[in-house]
């Protein structure tokens, strides 16, 4: 009788110990990835550029003495000078101030879209990848949204919602959420077949616990990388929507609005569109440098970190 109970306890403990060992190996892999992130030059370069853009947005009131929306017709279309670093537009507004304050809208939209897209996409992809009964429904919804070009779908949503910053965030979240869901779905399909996940199930762990505590942590690396790219896409998309007149309202300084106004005067005053366009380029460069460096640091296949099984 004692031998039978001992054998039963050993049989139950084996999957649990396998699950713990698998989680330890996964935690060690994440630790190695974190060390490589902090040693990556691309991460530091991208972070430095983003820190500069963030400082420009936060410190705008102290970096310029001009109200970005102050009209001064007497000084319209002035070329860049010591008084107006980036010149003035057709209403006499200081382009330097417009560029500084316009970064606020881009960063708010980019960060909000990245956060909301990550949350919604992770939940959708995790449910589709782990619960087979939901797989077909959720992935067909994602495929339907991804069938349309992103900017065209965003324009359609903005045409129905109206030109507001909050509506830009909603539209871009809906547009980019299926991409995050697809990446999460693919990572979950791989992770759910790993030995420690099967051991956790055999040990009696509930499905929700297995999905969120055992599978999700091992899907975070590609999601972090995707988040940086979503941020860049959202910044560019916000500027595009504002340039087309369906994004931020005209009374809100944004890079897209300034470029839209400058595009009409590109031959007479090229500086109006030039400097906001350069700001978008630098921001996108920083985000892409950060995303590429994170991808190289966190993907073991690119660094020869695959462990022999």
Residue-wise pLDDT tens digits, 53-112? 999 999 988 988 888 888 888 888 888 988 888 988 888 899 999 999 999 998 999 999
For the cut 80, the answer to whether the pLDDT of residue 277 exceeds it is yes
pLDDT tens digits for 119-131? 999 899 888 888 8
Tell me the backbone φ, ψ of residue 2, rounded to 5 degrees: -65, -40
| pLDDT at site 176 | 93
| pLDDT at site 221 | 76
Closest by alpha carbon to 120, among 179, 42, 48? 179
CATH of 2-66+92-302, one of 1.10.3720.10, 1.10.390.10, 1.20.1630.10, 1.10.1740.10: 1.10.3720.10
| Residue spans per domain, the chain | 2-66+92-302
| pLDDT at site 170 | 94
Residue pair 296/42 in contact (Cβ under 8 Å)? The answer is yes
For the cut 70, the answer to whether the pLDDT of residue 288 exceeds it is yes
Mean pLDDT of the chain: 81
Q: What is the rounded average pLDDT of the residues 198-210?
A: 72
For the cut 60, the answer to whether the pLDDT of residue 41 exceeds it is yes
| pLDDT at site 261 | 86
Task: Return the HEC string of the chain.
Answer: CHHHHHHHHHHHHHHHHHHHHHHHHHHHHHHHHHHHHHHCHHHHHHHHHHHHHHHHHHCHHHHCCCCCCCCCHHHCCCCCCCCCCCCECCCCCEHHHHHHHHHHHHHHHHHHHHHHHHHHHHHHHHHHHHCHHHHHHHHHHHHHHHCCCHHHHHHHHHHHHCCCHHHHHHHHHHHHHHHHHHHHHHHHHHHCCCHHHHHHHHCCCCHHHHHHHHHHHHHHHHHHHHHHHHHHHHHHHHHHHHHHCCCCCCCCCCHHHHHHHHHCCCCCCCHHHHHHHHHHHHHHHHHHHHHHHHHHHHCHHHCCCCCCC
* Residue of higher predicted confidence among 35 and 121: 121
| pLDDT at site 117 | 93
For the cut 60, the answer to whether the pLDDT of residue 28 exceeds it is no
pTM of the full structure? 0.80
| Residue reference for tokens 């939209």 | 109
| pLDDT at site 97 | 92
For the cut 70, the answer to whether the pLDDT of residue 7 exceeds it is no
pLDDT tens digits for 208-239? 777 777 777 777 778 888 888 899 899 999 99
| pLDDT at site 237 | 92
């Amino acid at each position: 009788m004692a031998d039978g109970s001992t054998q039963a306890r050993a049989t139950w403990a084996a999957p649990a110990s396998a699950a713990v060992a698998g989680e330890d190996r996964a935690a060690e892999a994440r630790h190695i990835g974190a060390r490589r992130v902090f040693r990556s030059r691309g991460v530091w370069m991208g972070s430095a550029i983003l820190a500069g853009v963030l400082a420009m947005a936060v410190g705008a009131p102290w970096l310029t003495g001009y109200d970005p929306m102050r009209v001064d017709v007497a000084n319209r279309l002035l070329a860049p000078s010591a008084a107006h670093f980036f010149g003035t537009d057709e209403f006499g507004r200081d382009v330097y101030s417009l560029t500084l304050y316009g970064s606020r809208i881009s960063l708010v939209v980019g960060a909000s879209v990245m956060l909301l897209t990550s949350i919604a996409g992770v939940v959708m992809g995790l449910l589709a990848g782990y619960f087979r009964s939901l797989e077909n429904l959720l992935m067909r919804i994602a495929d339907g949204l991804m069938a349309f070009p992103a900017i065209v779908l965003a324009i359609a949503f903005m045409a129905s919602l109206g030109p507001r910053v909050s509506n830009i965030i909603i539209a871009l979240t809906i547009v980019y959420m299926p991409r995050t869901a697809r990446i999460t779905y693919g990572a979950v399909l791989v992770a759910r077949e790993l030995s420690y996940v099967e051991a956790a199930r055999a040990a009696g762990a509930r499905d929700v616990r297995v999905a969120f505590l055992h599978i999700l942590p091992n899907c975070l690396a590609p999601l972090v990388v995707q988040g940086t790219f979503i941020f860049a896409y959202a910044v560019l998309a916000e500027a595009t929507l504002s340039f087309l007149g369906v994004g931020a309202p005209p009374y809100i300084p944004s890079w897209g609005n300034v470029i839209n106004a400058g595009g009409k005067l590109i031959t007479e005053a090229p500086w109006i569109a030039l400097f906001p366009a350069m700001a978008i380029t630098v921001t996108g460069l920083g985000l892409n440098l950060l995303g590429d460096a994170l991808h190289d640091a966190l993907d073991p296949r690119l660094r020869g970190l695959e462990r022999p099984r």
